[in-house]
Amino acid sequence: MAELSRVTGVPVATIKYYLREGLLPRGEVTTSPNQARYGEEHVRRLALVRSLVEVGGLSIASVRAVLAAVDDPAVPLHHTLGLTIDAADAPTPAVDDPPHTAAAERIDAIIAERGWRLSPDPIARRAAIDVLATMQRVTADRLTGIAEVYAEAVERVAEADLDTVTAVEDRPTRVETALVGTVLGERLLAALRRLAQEHVSAQRFPPPPETPCPSPSAQDPSRP
Amino acid sequence: MAELSRVTGVPVATIKYYLREGLLPRGEVTTSPNQARYGEEHVRRLALVRSLVEVGGLSIASVRAVLAAVDDPAVPLHHTLGLTIDAADAPTPAVDDPPHTAAAERIDAIIAERGWRLSPDPIARRAAIDVLATMQRVTADRLTGIAEVYAEAVERVAEADLDTVTAVEDRPTRVETALVGTVLGERLLAALRRLAQEHVSAQRFPPPPETPCPSPSAQDPSRP
């Protein structure tokens, strides 16, 4: 285990935690009672778990559920990918107030218009409805119309995502690629969107030339 | 305060907490020492704070920093929007290992290629580099190429985002729209991407007809 920690850079305490939580298979038992043999698959699984938890922000329970599907060859690939996709999102309870009903109509109209064929009530649909209802509550109709533009943009993104998955032949690697792509891709998409926003904002609202741009690295959001 | 709680549906304890943390201006003092007068602007600010904290997942410190810029008319609009954009993201420390150096080159090449004009080292640039370096570490080159597609997609998204901001005349409403659009828009974008992924995945890897799709609402990621 000390060796596994050295190779991967993951602290021994963290490895023990992942073992206890069932996120990492136990090492092969050796003749010495205090030793176990860890191989290439442990190194790889450890890198995957760590990226999902530390960079992706997934809960231990979500990672466990996803890995169970990854490791079960009987689960059809599309369903495994679905689990993978859903894991990034905690299920949102269905809410029945008028803003949610209106938001649900909007989202379902977008799904129908784009011809998306989906399972009956995907977790992501409810998440989208919840966000749209909150936007409506806070900004009235000011954010109307962005959902349609977003839907068009993510269709191209999803095609690229699935291209990366399709390019891989072997099933575990394929599912791993989908998982990392979905969870980390979300972060990448968000970061690039903020860069694009800064660019477009500077075009629309040019800062006065006499005011030097504060260095964003000095903008500490935790300052009082 | 009881009245404010009733109108907004926010518990009194939460209102008190926001007051203490400086996220909500104090009510106007009345002749009664145990009463304060809350107006329309309190109702509105409370809805804003709540959406940022509860739906957007922002920290109290981030919300405070953003609101300070929102409330300061001396801050040029572009800088306020920049703060707004950055608030959604905790600053990522700069890392100097080879994967990060390679990822930084990729991201800077994308920025140059798209002609994005940015401040020297935006927080979102570092976030993008960090995600890309992690992707590389976990999946080798399998996710190569998605960043370029994402960048193109988010440019259209950012134009739509700034359209909603430009359409509003009055400055506080404008900044509020940008803030909610950035923070909640990120969630909407992620949810719609997952729906699009499900659609594209079903096209690429059609589930066998004899296997009924499990209802996603039954996919509880916290199940053992």
Cβ contact B157–A139 (<8 Å): no
Instruction: For chain B of 224 residues, list the mean pLDDT of each consecutive stretch of 10.
Output: 87 92 86 80 87 80 82 77 67 80 95 93 90 86 88 96 88 82 90 93 79 48 43
For residue B195, the chain A residues in CB contact (below 8 A) are 111, 116, 118, 122, 124-125, 128, 154
**Residue B160 forms contact with A (CB below 8 Å):** yes
Q: Tell me the per-residue pLDDT of A161-180, one tens digit each, with 9 for 90 and over.
A: 999 988 888 877 888 888 88
Predicted local distance difference test score (pLDDT) of residue A134:
87
pLDDT, averaged across chain A: 83
A183 vs B32: which has the higher pLDDT: A183
**Residue B76 forms contact with A (CB below 8 Å):** yes
**Residue B214 forms contact with A (CB below 8 Å):** yes
How many residues can be counted in chain A? 224
Predicted complex ipTM: 0.80
**Residue A21 forms contact with B (CB below 8 Å):** no
Predicted local distance difference test score (pLDDT) of residue B99:
87
Judge contact between B66 and A190, C-beta under 8 A: no
B218 CB-near residues (< 8 Å, 6+ apart): none
Predicted local distance difference test score (pLDDT) of residue B85:
65
**Residue A153 forms contact with B (CB below 8 Å):** yes
A80 to chain B, minimum CA–CA distance in Å? 10
**Residue B117 forms contact with A (CB below 8 Å):** yes
Average pLDDT over residues A124-144: 87
For an interface test with A, the pick among B188, B205, B211, B215 (most A C-beta atoms closer than 10 Å) comes out as B188
* Calpha distance B63→A80 (Å, rounded): 37
For residue B77, the chain A residues in CB contact (below 8 A) are 205
A93: helix, coil or strand? coil
Nearest CA in chain B to A63: B221
Cβ atoms within 10 Å, residue A170? 8
How many inter-chain contacts (A to B, CB under 8 Å) are there?
A: 404
Q: Tell me the per-residue pLDDT of A42-67, one tens digit each, with 9 for 90 and over.
A: 988 888 888 888 777 788 888 888 88
For residue A87, the chain B residues in CB contact (below 8 A) are 221
B31 to chain A, minimum CA–CA distance in Å? 31
What is the model's pTM? Answer: 0.80
Predicted local distance difference test score (pLDDT) of residue A90:
63
Judge contact between B143 and A189, C-beta under 8 A: no
Cβ contact B168–A207 (<8 Å): no
What are the two backbone dihedrals, phi and then psi, of residue A111, each rounded to the nearest 5 degrees? Answer: -60, -45
What are the two backbone dihedrals, phi and then psi, of residue A29, each rounded to the nearest 5 degrees? Answer: -70, 135
Q: Which amino acid is at A212?
A: P
Q: Tell me the per-residue pLDDT of A65-91, one tens digit each, with 9 for 90 and over.
A: 888 877 887 777 777 777 766 665 666
